[in-house]
Every structure is written in structure tokens, then in C-alpha cells.
Amino acid sequence: MALFSKKNEEKKVPAKEKKPAAKKADKPKEKKAKKPSSDAGANLTKAPGRILTAPRITEKAAYMTVNNTYVFEIARDATKRDVVAAIKALYKVTPRKVNVVNKKPRAYVARYRNRRGMKSGMKKAYVFLKKGDKIDLA
């Protein structure tokens, strides 16, 4: 059992002495100030015109404009935050609230032909504005 004998022990090399780490309280914390974004569409992944594909002009949407609510068709991958940033960039107004509705495609039977068809789905956004703000869709 020469492998485990005490006589053949190798000398251990002492490790470098570590300096005590400076405490976080020793260093003054520097707070990074958030920059106000001057560009309204700065955080968009797409161009604002690609997020808001078209205003949705229907009878219901026309009645909703009286209450400062506007309806837009939006891209499939657009989020509420994208819609808010696109509205700020394109129309220079800040929305109070945004609701997003995803209409899925659905199958139907065409009249008088007895054939099947597909209604294309879409995604739309209801944009609520503050009192006094307006969007000119014409």
C-alpha cells in the first residue's frame, strides 16, 4: 500500500491569498436615468404601417368613434404594445387602452353551389382614446 503511505505525500503549493472582496455598501451606486424616447416608434419590430394594416370601417366602428374608440385591422403577430407604439407614431395621439381580438378562419358552405369555402380570419384592435383626442381616418 505504497500509494497511501504518509511518506510519499506531495507538498501542497499554497494558493494565492485572496483579497477580501469589497462590500457593495463601500461603492456608491450609480443609478442609470431612463432616457425619454423622442421617437414614438422606437421599440417597434416592424414599421408602423405594417402593424396597422387598415382602419376597419363598418357600421359598428362608425358608431364607436362617437365614444373615441377606433377599430383597426392589425398584423397577425402584432401585440398591444406594438399597436400603442404604431398609433403614437402614425397619428400622434396616445391611446388610453387597447383591446385585441383574434378572429379565426372558419369554414362555410356557399349558397346555391353546395361547395365549401373558408372565411379568412383576421386580428383587430380596438383603440380607446382620451376625451378630446381624435384620429382622422378619411
- The closest of 89, 91, 75 to 124, measured between CA atoms, is 75
Position with higher pLDDT, 38 vs 114: 114
Position with higher pLDDT, 20 vs 60: 60
Q: Return the domain boundaries, the chain.
A: 41-132
DSSP β-bridge partners for residue 123: 74, 102
Q: What pLDDT digit, counting tens, does each position of 117-135 carry?
A: 888 999 999 999 999 999 9
Please tell me whether residue 8 adopts helix, strand or coil conformation.
coil
How, if at all, do strands 95-103 and 69-74 pair? unpaired
Cell of 75: 398584423
CATH: 3.40.50.2300, 3.40.30.10, 3.30.70.330, 3.40.50.720. Which one for 41-132? 3.30.70.330
